Amino acid sequence: MSLFQSTMLLLAVSCALLLVGFSARDYRWGPWLMMLGIVGAMALIGWSIYQMLPR
């Protein structure tokens, strides 16, 4: 699996967590899933920016 494919897979998982969490926002665990999805997407963005920095 290439880096692009693994990045897209992780982004899809983060978006799925956001979708499920938003759909279940009336339950206690819904907002936690949304927060997990947001943290996952932000971590992925941060990791991508870190990889582009010159060393």
The three-state DSSP-derived secondary structure of 17-43 is HHHHHHHCCCCCCHHHHHHHHHHHHHH
Q: Can you tell me the distance from the alpha carbon of 30 to that of 37, in angstroms, rounded to the nearest whole number?
A: 11
Report if pTM > 0.95.
Answer: no
Residue 54 lies in a domain: no
Using only C-alpha atoms, the chain has a radius of gyration, in whole angstroms, of 13
pLDDT band at 20 (very low <50, low <70, confident <90, very high): very high
Residue 23 lies in a domain: yes
pLDDT band at 3 (very low <50, low <70, confident <90, very high): confident
- Tell whether the model's pLDDT for residue 2 goes beyond 90: no
What is the domain extent for residue 9?
A: 3-49
Residue 55 lies in a domain: no
- Tell whether the model's pLDDT for residue 55 goes beyond 90: no
Structurally, the chain folds into a number of domains equal to 1
Residue 29 lies in a domain: yes
Residue 40 lies in a domain: yes
